[in-house]
Amino acid sequence: MNNEQFNNRNVNDSYYLVDIKDYPTDGWGKFKRVVKRTFRGELFVGLWVVLREMIKFDIHTIQYPLEKMPIGPRYRAVHEMKRLWESDTERCIGCGLCEKICISDCIRMDTKIDEYSRKEVSQYTINLGRCIFCGYCAEVCPELAITHGGEYENASEQREHFILYEDMLTPIDTMKAGKQLEFEGFGAITPHEDERMKKTPLAY
Amino acid sequence: MDTAYLIETVIKVVVILLVFSALAGIGTYFERKILAFMQRRLGPMNVGPYGLLQVAADGIKLFTKEDIIPTNVVAPIFKIAPVITAATAFMAAAAIPFLPQFTLFGYTVHPIVADINIGILYILGMMGVGLYGPLLGGMASANKFSLLSAARGAAVFISYEVVTGLSILAPIMLVGSLSLVDFNEYQAGGIGNWIVWSQPLAFVLFWIAAFAETGRTPFHLIANDHEIIDGFGTEYSGMRWGLFAIGEYANMFFLSFVIPLLFLGGYGDGTLLGALGLLAKMAFFFFFFLWTRAAWPDVRPDQLMWLCWKVLMPLAVINVVITGFIMMF
Ligand code: SF4
Ligand code: SF4
């Protein structure tokens, strides 16, 4: 096998070469080119274009701290920890999958058995200095507990603040108000999830 | 020399200095705004309403910044260079009639510092001397970009000055005087008398040369940011750099006055309307300086020299010769 098919960039047959005339080599040709360029008024086309834009006044500036671009729901910024809609408790069951899959090894967690003999997350941090926001943790989480949020502005005096479980967890009052946003990104529930559900075959 | 004349002149000098220093600052504001609008941006918005106080903020910044003289520069020349640019720009203004004469409290004011009979020659000469600022500043600095800029400055200088001088020669032959006031008188009869109709070629040539004179796009190659950083201004900081900027913008304003005075009837018959007309023309030419900056690419130094020596200069000479023949017969 040769490399030709890899080097051939002409993937589309409708590509064509722009018709550029050869540069003139003799004096007369150059002179003709200068005269043609001088009187074709190309400079005025440029002037008109910028003047038109100025008159249209179609400004694209976003005055950042005051205005912000809407970011897509699938944007992968700082993580969020979700709560259960039914009981407002934390969704995370402490399975440790996110810690295991994290390719930059930045999730650290610890669990303990609580008084009801259930597994409880006692420590959970993500070192955002190392996180590459790949989204694997959100994808692997069986409970849709850890997701990515849209918060991309972070500042603090200490990097130890980035980032604790309490900061990621949906605040309880937000939850009570029913304002928790579900993550629509990679690994989230698709819109047709209900139709794709199958009954667990317990019959056999 | 009587005292009244002295006092009047000093007042005029102070007024021109103040007005045009302020205008140079406001010019930067206009430049940013207009460039921004043409590029679909907003420009300065945060300091004051619509960013109007940006000029003041810039001024404070320039004045309070540390004045750094780098170790390896030729200090005396390095220090004097910005002053040359700013000073000559304002000296050139002495022979420009900014407004028609008017009467203030029963006293007739001539808004020109000195109506010398070599006016236009003096203005062009002074603006020519102004190029020593970038030249010396660039050569005194200790980096190659400044040096390149100085070398370009020298090359550009000898190219466009020829065109400026020759293109202006034909109108001077028509008017028979070098004073801008006489130029204005010659064209006072109305739009039909404007020199631009009899000397369209000279007008275009002088306009092109004015872009080289002020170092604006498309001939912005002495301080071309994307090629040689800030050129001669690379090692300057604080107010010394600011003087370069003031000189550049003052020059733009003065040339925007000179072009209408030479070719477009100036202030006409000297009424209020004529005065406003001159200001409007000035505003258009200043706007055009900014307009081209948004629209046109820069040329290379060799292209500028090619243009000046091989195209513009022959055209200017032909123009002078034809004008001479027509005047003779
Ligand atoms: S986004 Fe990727 S790198 Fe960041 S915590 Fe999750 S798995 Fe680790
Ligand atoms: S994968 Fe989800 S449920 Fe499991 S520990 Fe991580 S966040 Fe908790």
Q: How far is A45 from chain B (nearest CA, A)?
A: 9
Contacts B42 to A, Cβ<8 Å: 59, 61, 63
Q: Tell whether B38 is within 8 A of chain A (Cβ).
A: yes
Who among A53, A60, A63 is closest to B38 (CB)? Answer: A53
> What percent of chain A shows pLDDT beyond 70?
90
Q: What is the dihedral of CA B255, B257, B261, B267, to 10 degrees?
A: 180
Position A9 scores a pLDDT of: 62
Contacts A53 to B, Cβ<8 Å: 37-40
Q: Is the pLDDT of residue A187 over 70?
A: no
Half-sphere exposure of B270 (CA within 13 A, CB side): 15
Residues of chain B with pLDDT under 70: 1, 106
Q: How far is A51 from chain B (nearest CA, A)?
A: 6
Position A77 scores a pLDDT of: 86
Position A97 scores a pLDDT of: 92
Closest ligand 2 atom to A140 CA = 1
Position A102 scores a pLDDT of: 92
Position A7 scores a pLDDT of: 61
Q: Which domains does chain A have, with CATH numbers?
A: 79-188 (3.30.70.3270)
Position A3 scores a pLDDT of: 59
Q: What secondary structure does DSSP assign to B264-325, as a single string?
A: S-TTTTSSHHHHHHHHHHHHHHHHHHHHHHHH-PPPPHHHHHHIIIIIIHHHHHHHHHHHHH
A47/B292 touch (CB, cutoff 8 Å), yes or no: yes
Query: Which ligand lies nearest to the CA atom of residue A169 in the structure?
Result: 2
Q: Is the pLDDT of residue A185 over 90?
A: no
**For A125-132, what is the mean pLDDT?**
89
Who among A34, A43, A59 is closest to B41 (CB)? Answer: A59
Position A34 scores a pLDDT of: 82
A49/B42 touch (CB, cutoff 8 Å), yes or no: no
Which pLDDT tens digit goes with each residue over A76-128?
888 888 888 888 888 888 899 999 999 999 999 999 988 888 888 888 888 88
Contact A168, A175 (CB under 8 A): no
- Compare all CA atoms of chain A with the CA of B36 and give the residue at the minimum distance: A54
**What ipTM did this prediction achieve?**
0.76
Residue A6: pLDDT band with limits 50, 70, 90: low
Q: Is the pLDDT of residue A1 over 60?
A: no
Q: What residue's CA is closest to ligand 1, atom 1? A: A133
Q: What is the mean pLDDT of chain A?
A: 82
User: Distance between the two ends of chain B, CA-based, in angstroms?
Assistant: 45
pTM as predicted: 0.77
